[in-house]
Amino acid sequence: MLHKTLKPFPKDFLWGASTSAYQVEGASLEDGKGPSCQDVKVVPEGTSDLKVCADQYHRYKEDIALMAEMGFKTYRFSISWSRIIPEGTGAINPKGIEYYNNVINECLKYGIEPLVTMFHFDMPAALDERGSWGNRESIDWFLNFAKVMFENFGDRVKYWLTINEQNMLTLVGPVIGTLMIPEGCTNVLKETYQQNHHMLVAQAKAMALCHEMLPGAKIGPAPNISLVYPASCKPEDVLAAQNYNAIRNWLYLDMAVYGVYNNLVWAYLEEHDACPEFGEGDEEALKSGHPDFIGFNYYNTATVEASDGTEKLDPGADQQTARGEAGVYRGYKNPNLPTTEFGWEIDPMGFRATIREMYSRYRLPMIVTENGLGAYDTLTEDGKVHDQYRIEYLRKHIEQIHLAISDGAEMMGYCPWSAIDLISTHEGMVKRYGFIYVDRDEFDLKTLDRYRKDSFYWYKKVIASNGEDLSD
């Protein structure tokens, strides 16, 4: 659809950026914090551990001041479960409460709205030892954690996100380092979707609790949503795309919004004897969530063709890599799209298509909680980072949000990944996303000083113009 005139970005549009606790904070076992699954996992060879990261735990004031200089309206960050409750349940760590109070207050000092992710890939290690999300008690563990957060921070935090990329926790858990499969399990798919079910119930109960405890707050899910294209107009390719869209995307949003399993996904699980078991009260709980908005992460689209029945899931494939599953779909490299240095396809127009599809299905306000370009950035001798490639990537995606708004989609905000350089999930420090350069390498911590990249100044101008000025 061509528009003669574009609708403006909403006046209260939440421009900002995102991070997560385990990737940016460091201080991994400091001030009473217990270990999370991220602290005890074996990191990929040649990549940094998570002990220091960007050291935001000690430098949050400096970092938030830089965000304020950019003009951020919001800052999306996550709260580390094991920093608040070191064992996952039981005693609360006062130093953890103090730290996040300080972060929240520092944001508010500059008029930056905190957007808090409750769970971002960092299950307390003590709970992993008790079965993690495979244990039905995980629903109560998470609800207790939610209650502690709402009690301590709910007077100042108006926007909450439940579980970051729950679909990726389910689909590519081994890559993220989060999936705990019990020894002797004979049906891994069933176990995986049982864990997913517990997360879905926990999410719904947390959303209901938020509405009960904090009637003025808003809460929503934060899956990774990437529209899936058929490789051709062959009907069998269209069906394959519908299959993967359901498994990758709609299961999570159908459940968050409507409290029901997507029919295609349920048929797929039936086919594999992998349907999750419902506990008492689950059906009612799932329908009680009622999100106020949808947060979603977008990096690119996916393309698939019909399966010939021989595909095998690649356990090493990440969230944006072509995948395939026998009898369901086969991953296909889209010849119409360029790729990043790390092999991810770049599809700004697919961003608009994804937003349109989501809004047509769910009719809820939406906020982009991740979108960005991971790249090899170079710090020059005079302290500059010339990341024109990142500016170009972000410009093209913001243009598509503008078009989607003109298509009638209700957009609340844009929080690209990431506010500052941090440790990438499985590719370490070398894959940089931030507007702010952190002076450290994979293993050499150097100074950890902050430097404003060219994209920092560009994004400052974008925010100041409320998305109207995207020029260099």
The sign one gets for the Cα dihedral 66, 70, 73, 77 is: negative
455 touches 390 (CB < 8 A) = yes
> What is the CA 326 to chain-centroid distance, rounded?
28
- The residue from 191, 305, 325, 370 that is catalytic is 370
Q: Specify whether 165 is catalytic.
A: yes
- The residue from 113, 165, 191, 305 that is catalytic is 165
Task: Give 186's contacts (C-beta < 8 A, 6+ positions apart).
Answer: none
Residue 370, strand partner residues:
297
Q: Specify whether 370 is catalytic.
A: yes
> Whole-angstrom Cα distance, residue 425 to residue 371?
15
Classify residue 7 by burial, with Cβ atoms within 10 Å: 0-12, 13-18, 19+.
Answer: middle
Is omega for the bond preceding 36 within 30 degrees of 0, making it cis?
A: no
Helix (H/G/I), strand (E/B), else coil: 164: strand
- 303 vs 171, 240, 332, CA distance in Å? 16, 9, 5
DSSP per position, 227-255: -EEESSS-HHHHHHHHHHHIIIIIHHHHH
90 touches 42 (CB < 8 A) = no
The catalytic site residues sit at: 165, 370
